[in-house]
Amino acid sequence: MATTNPTVNLSGLARRLVMDGLLNEEEASKAHEMSLKKRAHFVSYLVENKILKSRDIAWSGSQEFGVPLFDLRSMDMEIAPLKMVSEKLIQQHNALPLIKRGNRLYIAVSDPTNLSAIDEFKFHTGINTEAVLVEEDQLHKAIESALEALDTTMSELMDADLDNLDISAGDDDNKGGDVSESDIDDTPVVRFVNKVLLDAINTGASDIHLEPYEKTFRVRFRSDGVLHEITSPPHSLAMRIIARIKVMSRMNIAERRVPQDGRIKMNLSRNRSIDFRVNTLPTLYGEKVVMRILDGGAAQIGVDALGFEEEQKKLFTEAINKPYGMVLVTGPTGSGKTVSLYTGLNMLNTPDRNIST
C-alpha cells in the first residue's frame, strides 16, 4: 500500500518542524495560514501563541539550513550597527544588524528562510549580508531594546532641534483670541520654552513653575517634592514666554484675569510622548503658569517595579480585582500615585472589561 509524505504540501522551516516531530502537518499548515492572515512572521506566531519554544525552532532551523545558531545574550548590543538601517526595516523583516566586519554585515534572524530580510538589508546598506540564527524570544527583546535606542532621546537633542520639536495641544477646540506673530513664532522664545520643557523631563522634575514678579521673572522645577530655581529670564520676555505657553496649550491669550487650564503634548520619539497639564493663575504682576509633567511611558513599568513588598503587592492586586469597591491612593507630589493607578489599570485592561478613566 502506498504511503503519502505528510510534509508534501509544506516547505522550508515548517516542513522541518514536522519532520522533527515538533508539529504535525495539520498544526504546521494552520500555523502558517494564521501567520499569513495576521501578517505575522511564522516563527513569531509560533512563539507568541506558545505553540513551540523558540529554542526548539532555532535548533531545527539551524540543522536544516546549516545556519549558525547564536546566543544573543552573549552579545553586547551597544556595539551593534543599528543606525545602518531604519526602524521600519527592522520591524518589517523581524531582523537586526549584529556586527559589521569589513564589507560584510551579519544580521540576526529567527527564521533561516527569511531571505527577503537579507536582500533588503543588502540593498539598503550596499554591503554583503549574511544571516545568523537566533532564538525568537531573544530576538524580540533585542529588537525592542534596539528600537528604543534608535528613538530620539532628550539627551541627543541639540540646540538646532529646539525649533522643531513635535508639540501639539490637547483635544480641546482653539479658544485663543487674536495672537501676534511675535508671541507665537519669535525664535528665541520658542527655543527657550522648548528647552525648559526638555530640561524638566531630563532632570525628572514633576512640575514647572513660571512666576512673574515686579522686576524679575523666574522658572522653578519641582524635583522630589522640592522647588528649585532653574533660571531667571529677562523680565521683558515674561509676557511673551507665557503667551507662547498659552498658545501651545490652546488657551485664550487675550484673557489674563481668570485662571485657565490647558494641555500640551510633546512627541519625543516614535514610542514616547510626554503630556503637560497647564494651569494659569492671575497675580499682581502677571499670570503665573504651572505645568505638571505626565509621562505616560512611566505607567507601563509593571507592578513588580512599583517597589511593593510581597504582602503589599498581594493586597494591592486583590483590591483592584474585587468586583466592586474603591481603592484610595494618597501621597505627596512625585511619590508615584499616578504610576501606581495606571499600572493597576493596565493589569485590569482585558478584553472582557470596560474601563473609563
Tell me, yes or no, whether 267 and 339 share the same domain: no
CA-CA distances (angstroms) from residue 150 to 88, 141, 274, 303?
11, 14, 18, 27
Single out the residue in 150, 171, 189 at which a domain terminates.
150
Tell me, yes or no, whether 168 and 39 share the same domain: no
Residue 202: all three cell numbers together? 531630563
Tell me, yes or no, whether 29 and 143 share the same domain: yes
- CATH code of residue 100: 3.30.300.160
Tell me, yes or no, whether 163 and 274 share the same domain: yes
CA 213 to chain centroid, in Å, comes to 39
Tell me, yes or no, whether 25 and 146 share the same domain: yes
Residue 353 placed within a domain: no
Residue 7 placed within a domain: yes
Tell me, yes or no, whether 143 and 1 share the same domain: yes
- pLDDT value, residue 170: 56
Residue 51 placed within a domain: yes
Tell me, yes or no, whether 37 and 146 share the same domain: yes
Q: Count of domains in the chain?
A: 3
Single out the residue in 150, 173, 196 at which a domain terminates.
150
Tell me, yes or no, whether 208 and 236 share the same domain: yes
Instruction: Tell me the DSSP string of 1-59.
Output: -----TTTT--HHHHHHHHTTSS-HHHHHHHHHHHHHTT--HHHHHHHTTSS-HHHHHH
225: left (phi > 0), else alpha (psi -120 to 50), else beta?
A: left
Tell me, yes or no, whether 227 and 341 share the same domain: no
User: 164: how many CB neighbours lie within 10 A of its CB?
Assistant: 10
Identity of residue 274:
I
Residue 263 placed within a domain: yes
Distance CA 290, CA 264 (A): 12
- Cβ atoms 260, 246 nearer than 8 A: yes
User: 312: how many CB neighbours lie within 10 A of its CB?
Assistant: 11
Tell me, yes or no, whether 132 and 198 share the same domain: no
pLDDT tens-place values along the chain, 357 residues long? 444 444 445 557 777 777 767 777 777 777 777 777 767 777 777 777 777 777 777 777 676 677 777 777 777 777 777 778 777 778 777 888 888 888 888 888 877 777 777 888 888 888 888 888 777 777 888 887 777 765 544 444 444 456 666 666 655 444 444 445 554 556 788 888 999 998 998 888 989 999 999 999 999 999 888 999 999 988 888 999 999 999 999 999 999 999 999 999 988 776 678 899 999 999 999 999 999 998 766 656 677 778 888 898 899 999 999 999 999 999 887 678 888 888 888 888 888 899 987
Tell me, yes or no, whether 39 and 87 share the same domain: yes
- pLDDT value, residue 155: 43
- pLDDT value, residue 125: 80
Q: At what angle do helices 54-65 and 136-150 cross, to 10 degrees?
A: 100
Tell me, yes or no, whether 133 and 180 share the same domain: no
- CATH code of residue 197: 3.30.450.90
- pLDDT value, residue 10: 59
Residue 357 placed within a domain: no
Identity of residue 236:
S
Distance CA 279, CA 261 (A): 5
Residue 356 placed within a domain: no
Give this prediction's pTM.
0.51
Q: Which residues contact 82 (CB under 8 A, 6 or more apart)?
A: 96, 97, 146, 149, 150
Domain that holds residue 166: 155-296
CA 335 to chain centroid, in Å, comes to 22
Single out the residue in 150, 177, 196 at which a domain terminates.
150
